[in-house]
Amino acid sequence: MAYTNIASPYMTGNWGPANYNFNRRSWTLFNQDNPNFSKAQFKVALQQLQQAGVLDSSRGWANEKLKAEVLRGTPGIASDQNPLGQYQGTGGNFGLKSYNAAKAAGWKPQDIVDEIQSGRSGMFMPEGATAQYYKDIKVDDDAMWAERIADIPTAAELMAEMPQPKIRAGQDYATTGRSAQGMRIKKGTKFAEGGKRGTKGYFGRGAKFTGNSTPAMNIKGGGGGSASQASNTLNTV
């Protein structure tokens, strides 16, 4: 079956004798029937018919008036101003077959849509191509997020990279830098248990207050310095 496309019905042989396959009237009739199509789409369709070898070789492919008023200066099938023109479908637009062909040639889905939206080709993407585009974008987005998530360090990795605090052994930070070792409780007569003295006598089971005056604690670090008094504390040195 011979190749046909959206411009095929407007060949001059279909509506009267002519010396060319297409003339200025071809465009007039095409434009009347397809008002939303551009000159670029029409030109590409003519070039596709020419490349397919279905034009009458005994006649020219387009007359001078058509070339001057419609075709000349219009981006065609090989123009860098219409880079997706070579994938134009037989219906004059950019369907799923065109979309897949462009992708196979190295076009990225988003670049395809950006070019279509630029309006240079005049084409639009029907439902099939648009649906495939959204599928492709989702796959690309999923891959992007998977890669980004993979780059996020885990809690274990973050902990491994944290510097360890340097604490000197035996340091008691609650006593302003001085060791609690060596703190001695001064023996007194305020607490007693059966006449015993020492820590157990003061703080062991059965300890009781036996004096009349208020006990006091003197906390004094080594190496000089005045003692501080605090009510209801034990005397220490």
Give the pLDDT confidence of 108-167 residue by residue, as tens digits. Answer: 999 999 999 999 999 999 999 999 999 999 875 665 656 666 666 677 766 777 777 776
**pTM greater than 0.95 (yes/no):** no
Summary count for the chain: helices (H), strands (E):
8, 2
Query: 157-161, 169-173, 213-217 — which is least confidently predicted?
Result: 213-217
Q: Per residue in 19-47, pLDDT tens?
A: 899 999 999 999 999 999 999 999 999 99
Q: Per residue in 55-94, pLDDT tens?
A: 888 888 899 999 999 999 999 999 999 999 999 999 999 9
Does residue 221 register a pLDDT over 60?
A: no
Rounded mean pLDDT, 92-109? 97
CB count within 10 Å of CB 184 equals 7
From the number of C-beta atoms within 10 Å of its C-beta (0-12, 13-18, 19+), residue 138 rates as exposed
The C-alpha torsion from 101 through 130 and 135 to 84, rounded to 10°, is 30
Among 124, 135, 137, smallest CA distance to 92 is for: 124
Here the tokens at position 33 are 């029937």
Helix (H), strand (E), coil (C) string for 37-92: CCHHHHHHHHHHHHHHCCCCCCCECCCHHHHHHHHCCCCCCCCCCCCCHHHCCCCC
Beta strands 191-192 and 208-209: pairing type? Answer: antiparallel
